[in-house]
Amino acid sequence: MKLRAGWGMLGNQEIGDYTYATTVNYGFNYTYGYFGNQATFSGGAPTSYANKNIKWEATKQTNIGLDMNLF
């Protein structure tokens, strides 16, 4: 009879692209000026903000087994 045991931790790095940084998208049109004398300018705006608490997704796994020979 033999007892087997194992433990491990797995990491998943597929948590999204650029979640550690703020991303900006360009091509938005903004109106600037007062009524009757307005102009439109191209600009950019943040599309997502950085997550400073980002880390790998981790999973812990434990295995226990028993091997036996009957005959």
CA distances from 53 to 6, 20, 41 (A): 30, 8, 35
Q: In DSSP terms, which residues pair with 44 in a beta bridge?
A: 26
Residue 47, token pair as written in the block: 């599309």
| Domain span at 22 | 2-67
- Calculate mean pLDDT across residues 10-29: 82
* 8 Å CB contact between 1 and 67: yes
Q: Confidence band (pLDDT; 50, 70, 90) for 70?
A: confident
Q: How many separate domains does the chain show?
A: 1
pLDDT digits (tens, 9 = 90+) for 23-67: 888 877 877 777 677 788 888 888 888 888 888 788 999 999 999
Give the three-state DSSP class for 61: strand
Q: Which residues contact 28 (CB under 8 A, 6 or more apart)?
A: 42, 43, 44, 45
